[in-house]
Structures are given as C-alpha cells and as structure tokens.
Structure 1
C-alpha cells in the first residue's frame, strides 16, 4: 500500500475501518436565510467532484452546506454496470460511526449514568485487564484513543486475503476485543503523551453503551440520534446488506489490471462499534450540524469532545470521537472538525469549517489508497467546500 502524502492522508482513519458518468448536480437556497458571504462556488465544487472521477474513482457523492444554503452533487457511477451515482445514495460511513458512538456515550455521562474517568471495569468487569503499570483503562481514554489497547484490525490485516475473509466473517464484539488483547499493548493506560488509533476502543464503547443504556447499540443510536434528528437514511445494520438506493463499494484486490471485487455486502459484525453505520451525505451533515449547535450534548461535554490531543500525524489532533485537522485549509484558518471513515470499498469525509459555517460530507465507493491521484482530488473538494478564499491582491 503506497503512502499518501496529502491532507487526505491525515483525514483518513487508519487501516481497516479506519479514520474516504453523468454528473447529477442540484443546488438549493433557503431564501429566509439570505445569501452567505464567501460561499463555495457551485461550478468549482462540480469541477472538483468530477476531477475525483477522472482519477479512476467509480462514483462520488457530496453535500455542502453554508448557513441556509445546500449544494448537492454526484459524479460517476453507483455501480460498474453504469447506474449513475446520486447525491442521496446510501454508503457505508466507516469511522464516522465513532462520532455517533461517542455522542451516545457522552449523553450517558450527561445523564449521570457513567463518568468520563470511570474505569471501564466498573461497568464491564473482566473485559479489559489493567495495563502493566496497574492502571485501568477509563472511558475518556477509550473515546480519545489514549488507552493503549491494541487495534484488532491490525490482527485481521495479517489474515490470508484479509478483506475477502473479513467480508464473510461472523465475529462477535467480545471476540474482536479478545483478539486484540492477545497482542502487545501500544502503551500503558494513562501514559502521558501517547496516542494510538485503535478500533478496539470503540468495540468496548459499544459494549458499554449496551450495558448502561440497556438496549443494543443500534437501538441506542436510533432512539438518541437518528429518530430525534430525522435521519431517515441512517442505520446500524444487522445483516450484511446495504438496503435502499446506494453506492456499490469496490476494491481491486487482485491488482489494477484485474476485475474489481464488489464489497457492497459486508459482514455486519466486522466493524461493529467503530465503523458499521450506513448513511447519506445529507444525514451526516444534519448530524454534524446538530452536534455543533449543541442540540445533542450540553456545552461542557461538547467542549470535552473538542478538546483535542496531538496524534502521530502533523496537523491532525483528536478529541473524544472527533478529529481536528489544520492541513485542509492551513493553520491560519483553524482546524476543520469532524471525522473520516474508511472500510473496504468506501471512504467518507464529514467535516465542518473552523468557523462552523460550512460543512461537507463526501463519500466515494473505492479505497482511495489504491487509486492514484484520487487523494489529491479529494483534498481539492474538501478545500473548495471548507476553506475561505484567499483575499484578492490589489491591482498593480
């Protein structure tokens, strides 16, 4: 796998379930809100989205919001038989799921049912042992990837033909945790200055939500977020299927000259907790906007979520289920906030500008790490949507 070097590299969540034809574009304006200053240019967005397809990506869908104005676009195909992609197509959202799970956990904190610094053993006794230093993993450390718990997807990556094997797997959450804990820990819980992305953290958090909330993880997400926000195309699937009109997901597992593998149907348990949601660009933008406006969490917990720590990559920091990234628009404009997601066949990016006015959710139906040039093209879409234009130079 080649090493990506653009801003998209820093936005992609890591590894399996990591932290991503005829154009059909429509735009709408809310007259009650009036025109917005320095809004993204429709033609530039359309051109940037088409440029992603020119790099070999089958299909791309996006929605951009600024104040009351919404731009929706699609380019390329939803499947390789030629069905055009549509802006409202569903897709696998990958690790954008983590922000939903983190929000539910923080709602349980707001209700006084758990505390951020509770040891996880208080709620899930015997699931996660203490580190070699005797310290127990806390809820906060799980949310922020500072627990040191090994990443179960690193283990899965060592399987023969890992993606096809995982596609038809039937792992339970407890099996995923046990798989990870057979590996050496990255560091001890509480070690200062250490951070490592681990999907296992969010498997454990999913089990915590079920234990404390009293319902399956998907049900808790549905009743706390999906239904209140009317996210009509968002679900946590119980089967491998991707229902409704959707993007098919593809990877060229046998090399660029071979036939692609269709990964649309995928094990419902493979990424349970860290990356198993299905959604649309409109639903994810609606969720991110509600979160940013304080409609899902009280101010003090939203502040905790946004309190980021440095990661292993320059320009990228991480809070409690939320990324902050200065590589998209540059440090002078401040970080964009949200999450990226990568599961086999799909990459998703869902971010809000530093000033909170602009949002984009963008999804493509291929693994960008295997598509030359697509990472740079995706970066241009994100920058077009989220960054303020440079001031005009005075005439000479």
Structure 2
C-alpha cells in the first residue's frame, strides 16, 4: 500500500508542475522519464547498496576530517568561549563554513573546479535535453552557491531570455552550496545529504522541463563561462575566507531572527488557538507529507518541519529535526531529511534576485517578478526527491 501511495504522490508532484507549465504542448517527456529512472537508480545505489554506503561513508569521513581541521582554527579563536557541557551551534556548525569555503577557493584557483563543473555539465546536457549553459549552471550551483554561481555566467545574463533565466535560477534554489554541506552533516545523516544533492540535480531539470519548457538552438547553446580577473593565490584565498565568514554570519543572523519570530508566533497562536503555529502548518502540510511516503501517524509532525523550512530556512528545520523531540521513524526521517536539503524557501527569492540584480539590474527585476513561481518549482523539486527516497527506503 505504501508503494501505491508513493507512486500517487509522484504523479501528483509531476501534475502540479504540469499545471504550472508555461507551455504544456512543448514539454519533452522522454528526457523527463529518463531522468526519473536515473533518480531511482542513483537513489537506490546510494541508500541501499554496499558500494553506495561506502561512497557516502567516504564522503562523510572526508567532511569529518575537514571539520576536525576547521575545529582547530575555530578553537584557536573562540576556544575560551566554548561551553564544554553543551554544543554551540554558531561555533560548531556555522564557523567551519569558513574553512570549507577556503578549500573551494583553492580548488577554484587551481582550475580544478571549473574543469569538473564544465565537463560534468556537458555530459548532463546530453541527458536532460537542455542547454549546455543550464547544465553547467546546475553543477556550479551545487558547488559555488546560489548567489556566487551567477558571477561565473554574468556575461550571458544580459542575453538570456526569461525562460532560460528561470531555469538557471531554479537550479540555484534547488541545490545547496558545497561550503555548507559539512554543516548539514552535523545535523542530519550524511547519506541523506549526499542523496538529496544528487537527486535534486536531476529533479531541478525535471521540474524546470515541465514548468518552463523550451528549445535551445545550436547558435544559442554556447557555453562561455566568465573568466574573472587574474588574482594571486592569496587574494583568492582571502576572498573565499571572507565569503565563508559572511555566509556563516548571515546564516547565524537569519537563524536568530527566524527562530525568535517563530517562537513569538508560536506563543501567540498557542495563547489564541491552543496550538502552535508550527502545529497548524503541520496539519496543512500533512497531506503532502503523507503522499511523499510519510506514515499517516507521523504526517503532521513531518509536515510541520517541512513547512518550517519553507517559511524560514533549512537550518531552522534541521535543528528541529536534529533535536530528537519528534521521534520520527526511519522512513519519515529519510523523507523529511532529503526534503530539507535545498535552498527552497521565501528568503532565497530575495537572495537570488539580489545576486542577479547586482550583475544586471534589468534581469534582476525579471527574476523578482517570477520569484514565487521559482519557489513553487524548487519546492516541487524537494518534494520529488523526498518522494523517490520514500519509495526506496
């Protein structure tokens, strides 16, 4: 029965994407079917096979070693402020982002990341039936981040029609930055983080192909990535270190604000209605959680976490899940965890439109206009990934 519900959920998600399509007659179904099959294969390999478990363990161990090194730097600066009896979220989870960002800068300087991103993108373009630029951007977004990625394609921004611009922005919102993946792994199981990143990459193409179908001609399909001005090694390193610190501070500030506001709203709703705002959101989202494969008796609690991510951000939702107070089953935890690994929330609309506007004001205004549709598509990507995981685990 649970598989029937999961298949129904999958159909509903694709139908919701089709309902929001700009041009239903131009949807290319063959690449979509191929990518859905690939999602199932990759998800199964990552979650249910020895090779997949070994790969995820290797990645987790790698990030664990990096976080340990990051901890040495953090302790040198903040060691006296640490509470030996309690984990400090900012120090233990957010500040390691600075070190991971520095490593990304080194790989970028050595031309390793541009090479990997470009050629993985070219391979993906053969599978997804979309342009090379869209494929490049999706891979780059998963490494560089949802705002930084647009710097590498700023030459093309002014030339892109609205449909192609939507796909680029949807990829940025559907993925997560490699610099904060280690922080996610401290809150939820690494295997769910890795699986979500891989499935979201294809899910972004699937949903965008339905909501925003178009054909790119050979003349338009030119992959020319912006070459930044030549910088010395230490200039690049310093820039990425500061970028990582800005991300950590920004996420920390948003957490303070969102958690405090949610606490205030919960108190008001409890006083007026006898239940918290998150409980009410849980009831609203529970049918969707159920269709994704969450057992019915856990759907309200799972729906509450999913809604929290949408209205605030993934870190707020992950900390709620990591607290252990909800006592979700393994299946529900897998579904919710993979749903949370993306930037699909209201604040990302402002982040992405602001990033594009900083490079091209006209295109930034265009992004702001389709912001809600962007969030709609990115949320469906998260739901698609979660539903597939629910059918696999």
TM-score, with structure 2 as normaliser: 0.27
Structure whose residues are more often helix by fraction: 2
Structure whose residues are more often strand by fraction: 1
